[in-house]
Amino acid sequence: MTFRAHTIAGVLAQTIPGGAALHEPEIGGAEKARVDECLRSGWVSTAGPFVERFEDALAQYTGANHAIACVNGTAALHACLLLAGTRPGDEVIIPSLTFVATANAVAYCGATPHFADSDEDTLGLDPAKLANHLEDIGHITKGNCFNRRSGNRIAAVVCMHAFGHAADLDRLAETCRHYKLPLIEDAAESLGSFYKGRHTGLDGVLSALSFNGNKIVTSGGGGAILTGGAELAEKARHLTTTAKKPHPWMFEHDQVGFNYRLPNINAALGLAQMERLEDFLTRKRRLAMRYKDAFAGVEGVRFFEEPEDRRSNYWLNVLLLERECAQHRDAALKAANEQGFMARPAWTPMHMLDMHKDCARMNLDTAEDIFARLINIPSSPALVS
């Protein structure tokens, strides 16, 4: 079958008849019961037992030593960057191909993003290009890495597990160690995704999860910091709860902190969702395999499968158009959306946004190429039983 604008819409109509949103949350009786329990207790805000139970569930599932619940993933990422030592004037290396929150969190610290390219095999940071780039521009003085060209300190590297596919953590971590750069994982999309048997979010010094309504597990809005270090966890808890010194009645704060703690009512919802995560993962994988089969014989487009050594959550399913068909991307998106199948392109790469056009960067050909060819298709677990 040669590729035409209607090809994708046609395959979708056969695979998931009737149209579909991109990713809808599934809220059922278990969620309602938990939220009701929370409402009846009167503890609806940032104090209450569900927050800690949600944190325990996250730590237990991921294998992280510590999980600190936050109001959203962006706030969690902001806190991760501050805790890793990001200061005004610093640069932070992030993939250009990411959701805007990654770059925003850097800007909230008074730092600027420094854009790195992505790898077509993982859709995440390209470890080889990162190593080459740092060899070119990186300069270590007194235990800090500086950008030789701008003179700015590079505070950290943030990798992101795009659409639930783990980036090449081993090689990224190795490069970061070499250049004395803390690795932070933006694991907002990768709850339930594993890299060589380890849950994503465990290789970074600090990692951020998101429980926004479109993510695999939702708490309405919400996020969490994962970390292995007890001291960092303590600092994270302190920074995200207005930096109040523990005392039964005195209000004393020892730095400018943030009101970033997740409310109990959101944690109640999140806890009920965590109890259904395995079921969501099973059905999302089933849907992904159905897409894989459906697109197998279709010319001009390829279903993106989990890279080797990974187990992906298939948060948002990905199609990649062949290069010769890239010019049909927008027509294919239009046809799918007109038939009721929500499809969308990847995020516009950050370096192509006007506000970031002057930021430091390496060659970003692959990020631009992936952006030109990638299409996300409906991925709700409810699409399969």
Ligand X SMILES: *Cc1c(COP(=O)(O)O)cnc(C)c1O
Binding region for ligand X (CB under 6 A):
72-74, 98-99, 101-102, 160, 186, 188-189, 210, 212, 223
Least separation in angstroms between CB 287 and ligand X: 19
Residue nearest to ligand X as judged by C-beta position: 73
Q: Which residues pair with 144 in a beta bridge?
A: 141
Contact residues for 121 (Cβ-Cβ < 8 A; gap 6+): 307
Least separation in angstroms between CB 133 and ligand X: 21
Contact 118, 186 (CB under 8 A): no
When the beta carbons of 212 and 273 are compared against ligand X, the nearer one is: 212
C-alpha span between 80 and 159 (Å, rounded): 13
When the beta carbons of 101 and 173 are compared against ligand X, the nearer one is: 101
When the beta carbons of 262 and 364 are compared against ligand X, the nearer one is: 262
Q: Which residues pair with 69 in a beta bridge?
A: 224
Least separation in angstroms between CB 183 and ligand X: 16
Least separation in angstroms between CB 74 and ligand X: 3
Contact residues for 24 (Cβ-Cβ < 8 A; gap 6+): 380, 382
Contact residues for 151 (Cβ-Cβ < 8 A; gap 6+): none
When the beta carbons of 175 and 210 are compared against ligand X, the nearer one is: 210
Least separation in angstroms between CB 210 and ligand X: 3
When the beta carbons of 73 and 300 are compared against ligand X, the nearer one is: 73
Q: Compute the Cα dihedral for 119, 2, 336, 217 and give only its sign.
A: negative
Distances (CA, A) of 211 to 63, 176, 264: 18, 28, 14
Least separation in angstroms between CB 77 and ligand X: 6
When the beta carbons of 200 and 210 are compared against ligand X, the nearer one is: 210
Least separation in angstroms between CB 223 and ligand X: 5
> Quick one: which of 97, 46, 99 has its CA closest to 74?
99
Least separation in angstroms between CB 69 and ligand X: 12
When the beta carbons of 35 and 71 are compared against ligand X, the nearer one is: 71
Distances (CA, A) of 60 to 17, 47, 168: 37, 21, 24
When the beta carbons of 101 and 320 are compared against ligand X, the nearer one is: 101
> Which tokens is 349 given?
């790469």
C-alpha span between 314 and 303 (Å, rounded): 11
Least separation in angstroms between CB 198 and ligand X: 19
CB atoms within 10 A of CB 105: 28
φ, ψ at 269 (rounded to 5°): -65, -45
When the beta carbons of 15 and 376 are compared against ligand X, the nearer one is: 376
